[in-house]
Structure 1
Amino acid sequence: MNDVISVAAIQMNCILGNKEENLSKSERLIEDAVKKGAKLIVLPELFNTGYRVEENDLDLAEQIPGETTSWLERICSENNVYIVGCILEKSITNGVIYDTAIVVGPKGLIGSYRKIHLWDKENIRFAKGNEYPIFDLGFARLGVQICYEIGFPEGARILSLKGADIVVYPSAFGKERLYVWDIATRSRALENGIYVIACNRTGKERGKTEFGGFSRIVDPKGKIIVEASSEDEVILAEVNLNDVKNQRREVPYLRDLNQCVIKENLIF
């Protein structure tokens, strides 16, 4: 396993409901990330459709594998990279849709993650996922959460205990709550000793839903390595997975966690 790898987050605005244009823009930005040496690339939440497409969810949703999965497979194969992208997933149950992240590598689809904790009216749009998978990329063990889930420490903790070195957050996080984004992105990294790749949207949809940007890559100490500042931007950082194990020895939250006591006192 190579301990040092280059990772990238693609911050971008999207054209509402226009898959062709969004995929074209995404590919240009991915090419930029590849030229800069990125091995793992993260795209924002619902990057291929835009976020506020609720009336057209059923028409825009895809099965996995499907159109966008195949598009990602082609890019990953051609460039020998790994990409995480989040799309509307059409369930095999007619009429049911998930907000789903797909993980793709040079050899094809690796797996997917369905958003578990839904934000506000997403509870009307989407069904909830119920699993926290780990994706072994060979060079790193990857966990995925989506947007609003940055504020749920349980998800990142579960993924870390299951072996994640890096947790990524494809997001369409609102500008109004950037104070949450700022604290939570660093907290999830620090409390688990992980790298966090928090990839956010920019732009405004329907004249009122404004996305916050400030995509960032955070190290296991909670330090921001790099942060985006433009509408369409690629940020890139080298991450050293030795820093994960070193930080977990320096501040041993995962070692000292008494899981038995937590399980006994959970109330749902």
Structure 2
Amino acid sequence: MKVTVCQLDPRGPALDDYLQGLKQHVKEQETDFLLLPEMGFSDWLAADAIPDANRWNQAVEDHDRHIANLSNFGARAVMGTRPIIKSNGSRRNLAYLWSADTAEAAAVHEKYYLPDEEGYWEHSWYDRGHKSFDLGRALDMRIGVQICTEMWFFEWARHYGASRADLLCVPRATPHGSTDKWLAGGQAVAVCSGAYCLSSNLWAPEGEKLNAGGLGWIVDPEGEILATTSVEQPFATAEIDLGFARHSKTTYPRYVPE
């Protein structure tokens, strides 16, 4: 199974260039599973403290358009997050799982843990979802997701381990200056869950309104780093062994009862 992570600049014309490069990489690597960053198909709305309904609506449309064309990437399955509007008008951040078999993006999890601070005014922009962390399923894999800040709530990594997740995906929008801390967290949740931890992040040059530092990763269930992204190499692919992830559930510290 080949998996790919990335860092993308979502700002206007830059996004199209990154997506073209990502498509080429995915096809050359014959990627099976692709992880995209948090709300990666539009400008990062939460950089502004004051919510704007029109901008949210536009972001919804942008994500709908790109998700409708995910088959162009050539991956067999894709996970990311998207802005949505519920029937009652509530705005949410939804993790979806797209499959080439159905050509549809299934809802998996709505972000529950929401920061609200400079550059990341998420709780001001949208509402938290239900406190449920369900599995997605694709390519004979059980796939868990913790959206960005949710990674730091390690009880859910243990939950996904008990649920026999093969992958634990962390789509992010996280700043420059903290990338090493986030990578360490990704190694920890991989060990906690006994799953491969994948993360993709937004990126923009330092000093821009969008404070996003990139560094996607692929980490194995023992915390070993298999691949990372960088400014020079914004896309990274590694081959993973699902049998290793499944066996890891029986070894330390995963077997230790709660």
Q: How far apart, in 2, do the equivalents of 1:196 and 1:173 lie? A: 16
Q: Which runs of 5+ in 1 are unaligned?
A: 259-268
* Cross-structure match for 1:29: 22
Report how far residue 70 of structure 1 moved: 5.4
Tell me which stretches of 4 or more aligned residues in structure 1 moved more than 4 Å: 53-57
Q: How far apart, in 1, do the equivalents of 2:203 and 2:150 lie? A: 18
What does 1:146-185 align with in structure 2 at a 5 Å threshold? 146-185=147-186
Of 81-90 and 38-47, deviating more is: 81-90
Q: How far apart, in 2, do the equivalents of 1:188 and 1:167 lie? A: 8
Q: Deviations over 1:202-235 (max 9, x none)?
A: 1158735422212110000001001112166110
Q: How far apart, in 2, do the equivalents of 1:195 and 1:44 lie? A: 17
Paired letter, 1:234: F
Q: How far apart, in 1, do the equivalents of 2:226 and 2:73 lie? A: 28
Contact 1:169–1:196 (CA under 8 A) maintained in structure 2? yes
Q: Deviations over 1:230-253 (max 9, x none)?
A: 166110000101111232333142
Q: How far apart, in 2, do the equivalents of 1:229 and 1:237 lie? A: 15
Give the secondary structure class of the aligned counterpart of 1:142: strand
Paired letter, 2:28: K
Q: How far apart, in 2, do the equivalents of 1:32 and 1:62 lie? A: 31
Contact 2:114–2:149 (CA under 8 A) maintained in structure 1? yes
What number of residue pairs does the alignment pair up?
249
Contact 2:229–2:236 (CA under 8 A) maintained in structure 1? yes
Report how far residue 49 of structure 1 moved: 1.3
Give the secondary structure class of the aligned counterpart of 1:129: coil
Report how far residue 164 of structure 1 moved: 1.2
Q: Deviations over 1:159-198 (max 9, x none)?
A: 2222311011111111232342022110000121110001
* Cross-structure match for 2:112: 116
Report how far residue 53 of structure 1 moved: 5.5
Paired letter, 2:29: K
* Cross-structure match for 1:265: none
* Cross-structure match for 1:39: 32
Contact 1:11–1:202 (CA under 8 A) maintained in structure 2? yes
Give the secondary structure class of the aligned counterpart of 1:250: coil
Give the secondary structure class of the aligned counterpart of 2:178: helix
* Cross-structure match for 1:257: 257
* Cross-structure match for 1:196: 197
Report how far residue 23 of structure 1 moved: 5.4
Q: Deviations over 1:19-54 (max 9, x none)?
A: x76356425413421321111101111211122266
* Cross-structure match for 1:126: 126
Q: Closer, same or farther in 2 for the Cα pair 1:84/1:154, shift >3 Å? A: same
Q: Closer, same or farther in 2 for the Cα pair 1:80/1:232, shift >3 Å? A: closer
Give the secondary structure class of the aligned counterpart of 1:26: helix
Q: How far apart, in 2, do the equivalents of 1:197 and 1:99 lie? A: 19
Give the secondary structure class of the aligned counterpart of 1:93: coil
2:102 aligned with 1:102, yes or no?
A: no
Report how far residue 155 of structure 1 moved: 2.1
Give the secondary structure class of the aligned counterpart of 1:160: helix
Give the secondary structure class of the aligned counterpart of 1:210: coil
Q: How far apart, in 2, do the equivalents of 1:176 and 1:233 lie? A: 18
Paired letter, 2:156: G
Contact 2:148–2:174 (CA under 8 A) maintained in structure 1? yes
Q: How far apart, in 1, do the equivalents of 2:201 and 2:73 lie? A: 25
Q: Closer, same or farther in 2 for the Cα pair 1:157/1:47, shift >3 Å? A: same
* Cross-structure match for 1:59: 54
Q: What is the TM-score normalised by the length of structure 1?
A: 0.82
Q: CA RMSD in A?
A: 2.7
Give the secondary structure class of the aligned counterpart of 1:44: coil
Q: How far apart, in 2, do the equivalents of 1:122 and 1:165 lie? A: 29
Q: What is the TM-score normalised by the length of structure 2?
A: 0.85
